[in-house]
């Protein structure tokens, strides 16, 4: 399995927006799974550009898409689902397996976003994105 990752194949569960097909090179390979892939791309690019200015905004965007798979019975997404989606290098066309000391390398699948977009997302996440502070109005007597 490690050798397969080193050859540029994603061997883990297919990320949301991708599915597996049998490869002409043997084994299975990832291909884009529409319409979910377009939704994932919009979410990733929206977060990188600031249009979706928080992980919460990404979550709400994805929850409103009827074809995006929800992971809670009430039709919502777990917070961790959003973190994983934003952190996965596979969406930029790369593969990695840190537990096996396989550093990110170019994969054999089509990316949904550019590597630059992926790096921008990581930069935002590492800096910490917080919602603007809410103004609290206190009634005072005059």
Confidence of residue 139 (pLDDT cuts 50, 70, 90): low
pLDDT digits 0-9 by tens, 62-98: 999 999 999 999 999 999 999 999 999 999 999 999 9
| In-domain check, residue 101 | yes
56 domain residue, yes or no: yes
- 109 occurs within a structural domain: yes
Q: Could you tell me the maximum CA-CA distance found in the chain, to the nearest angstrom?
A: 79
Query: In this structure, is residue 142 part of a structural domain?
Result: no
Domain contains 95: yes
- Is residue 65 a part of any domain in this protein? yes
d(CA 53, CA 110): 26
Give the list of residues 6+ apart from residue 15 with CB closer than 8 angstroms, or none. Answer: 30, 85, 88, 90, 91
**The whole model's pTM is what?**
0.85
Q: What is the domain-level CATH number for residue 72?
A: 3.90.1750.20
Number of domains in the chain: 1
Residue 77: domain span:
2-127
């Amino acid at each position: 399995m490690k050798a397969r990752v080193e050859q540029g194949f994603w061997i883990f569960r297919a990320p949301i927006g991708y599915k597996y097909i049998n490869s002409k090179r043997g084994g299975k390979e990832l291909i884009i799974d529409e319409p979910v892939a377009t939704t994932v791309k919009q979410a990733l690019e929206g977060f990188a550009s600031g249009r979706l200015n928080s992980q919460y905004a990404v979550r709400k965007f994805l929850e409103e898409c009827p074809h995006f798979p929800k992971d809670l019975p009430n039709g919502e997404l777990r917070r961790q689902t959003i973190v994983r989606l934003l952190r996965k290098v596979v969406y930029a066309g790369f593969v990695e397996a840190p537990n096996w000391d396989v550093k990110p390398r170019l994969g054999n699948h089509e990316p949904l976003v550019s590597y630059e977009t992926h790096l921008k997302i990581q930069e935002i996440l590492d800096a910490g994105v917080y919602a603007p502070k809410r103004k609290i109005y206190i009634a005072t007597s005059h």
